[in-house]
Amino acid sequence: MSSQLPETIELRQEQGRVPYRAALAEMTARNAAIAAGTARELIWLLEHPPVYTAGTSAAAAELLDPRFEVVEAGRGGRYTYHGPGQRIGYVLLDLGKRSRDVRGFVHALEGWVIDTLADFGVESFRRDGRIGIWTTDIDVREAKIGAIGVRVRRWVTMHGFSVNLSPDLSHFAGIVPCGIEEFGVTSLARLGVSVDPPTWDAALLARAEDFLAALDRPCPDNARPNEEPA
């Protein structure tokens, strides 16, 4: 597997923390520029300071303790948390040059995260009726380890995924994550797997070629649209 991206896609890897509002503004501008043909596509890997983000379906009752800034994200989905120890991947690609299949894009994005987690010995999976990337937690119950969500404007994608490497999991208690109350949230660290951001990024990018190739294949019939924030 190669980590080399096509020249048409810019790779950006942040070592510091990027405030969510600043990232959202830049992502919005880049989305428009890609659609206009004046900028390259972008894969942007980063981390945010603690923040709760609200999607268009967020219910006020699901914001339990607004201990951090709350930002309207302008995407589908409900409340989610981003913060230190969680790696974010914003994926801005022009589907108009590919399959024009939003469902297929989401399915491929999920597969990219699932395959990368497997490289660290963590089995994860999709679950019908439950948005996100799931795994078996240390208490043998299923728990969410990653979030997936996109917005598409003029066939150009925005947002992407988040994966819990080693965040403070107590920070998720301020919200009902993605509106799902009956299941918990876990991380690689909680599962006993130590992965820092550079190591995660390298493993993820080693599978980028497979992810991009998947965008040109028909979407499985059982794949479903995913409106989770990321």
| Confidence (pLDDT) at 47 | 98
Q: Which runs of consecutive H residues, i.e. helices, occur in 6-89? A: 20-36
Q: Where are the beta strands (DSSP E) in 58-183?
A: 70-72, 79-82, 86-92, 124-127, 130-136, 142-153, 156-164
| Confidence (pLDDT) at 226 | 41
| Confidence (pLDDT) at 56 | 78
d(Cα 32, Cα 183) in Å, to the nearest integer?
37
d(Cα 209, Cα 2) in Å, to the nearest integer?
6
| Confidence (pLDDT) at 3 | 55
- Residue by residue, pLDDT tens for the chain (230 residues) are 445 799 999 999 999 999 999 999 999 999 999 999 999 999 999 999 999 998 777 788 889 888 898 998 877 678 889 999 999 999 999 999 998 899 999 999 999 999 999 999 999 999 988 888 999 999 999 999 999 878 999 999 999 999 999 999 999 988 876 545 567 899 999 999 999 999 999 999 999 999 999 998 766 654 544 444 33
Given a contact cutoff of 8 angstroms between Cβ atoms, the answer to whether 81 and 169 are in contact is no
**Could you tell me the domains of the chain?**
9-214 (3.30.930.10)
Instruction: Tell how far CA 159 is from the center of its chain.
Output: 7
Catalytic residues: 178
d(Cα 90, Cα 97) in Å, to the nearest integer?
18
| Confidence (pLDDT) at 181 | 58
| Confidence (pLDDT) at 117 | 98
